[in-house]
Amino acid sequence: MITAIAFLLGRERREDKILHAVALFAPGLLILALAGNQFVGISAIAPPKEDANQAEIVCSVAWTQGMAASGMLGVGFVVAVAGLVWMMAHTVDGNIRLNTKEGDTQDRRTLVHLGNFLVFVAIATVSLLLTRTALGYYAMMGDVGLRPPTGWNSAMWSAFAATTVVSAIIISARTILYYRVRGKRLRGEWIERDESTVKRVLRRAFLAGVVVLTAGMALVVPLHSGIVAQSDSVPGAVAAFFAMALGMLLPFMIFLFISASVPGPDFWYWEAIFASKERREVATST
């Protein structure tokens, strides 16, 4: 899979937009592999049948590790989908130049908003699954004496609803603005120098945020699981809080960053530097 990605993206190395796909695929595949490793270890845990107290400890440890690993698995999946969407967008519109006829790209342009819609579906589905996992985790931990704060279930459902709604708004807005700028570019009305400094920083910051948070999660989740595994008792409130933060809250934050990183109106600025260099080279040669 990695070889295929490198081959496909390497064919158009002049297009800086492909860095989006590469930057998203790299931490996505890393965190998916680590999540698989985590679940292999968790599945090997077997509680003793003779000692009920020890069985509670083993099960609570496994659930705590599984909660954090579920968040890592969900993030890896969504990040990989986002990288795939950038490959789709690059395939459709990566080579569009000024004054290109609409008929030349009409049949393929639906891939862009289809891809953005798939990112939203992935975010909504994974967020729902992580919320259900969190509810099940605290229900199980309540059976061994760890009670969540009052109103915790409502807060988790509210966080899920807020993440889904905000992601839908951001992705919809970016998709609409994408086609607005695309139309200007096809008509030869697009000016590549009108991007403000703030927009340029945000364009890069959201992508960098996804990469940094995903890579950080790949480091912290195994560390958290290793610390929890050393416990000789039921994980306490601190361990449960970090399991929730890594298994639900941090993924929701990453999903919002991903929503702001799907192909949008700033899609075209990733190649502007190359177009400017080409014009300067032509002017110099003439």
pLDDT tens track for 94-151: 555 544 555 544 545 566 778 889 999 999 999 999 999 999 988 888 777 777 777 8
In a domain, 281, yes or no: no
Q: What are the backbone dihedrals phi and psi of residue 16, each rounded to the nearest 5 degrees, phi first?
A: -70, -15
In a domain, 37, yes or no: yes
In a domain, 285, yes or no: no
In a domain, 286, yes or no: no
Contacts of 126 (CB under 8 A, 6+ apart): 74, 75, 77, 78, 251, 255
> According to the model, what pLDDT value does residue 278 have?
45
- Whole-number Å distance between alpha carbons of 206 and 108: 27
pTM summary value: 0.82
In a domain, 85, yes or no: yes
> According to the model, what pLDDT value does residue 272 have?
47
Q: How many domains does the chain have?
A: 1
> According to the model, what pLDDT value does residue 270 have?
54
> According to the model, what pLDDT value does residue 233 have?
81
Q: Print the domain residue range for 138.
A: 2-45+61-270
Q: Which residues of the chain have pLDDT under 50?
A: 13-14, 98-99, 104-105, 107, 272-283
In a domain, 166, yes or no: yes
In a domain, 52, yes or no: no
> According to the model, what pLDDT value does residue 208 have?
87
> According to the model, what pLDDT value does residue 283 have?
44
In a domain, 54, yes or no: no
- Whole-number Å distance between alpha carbons of 126 and 67: 13
Structure token digits, residue 186:
């096809």
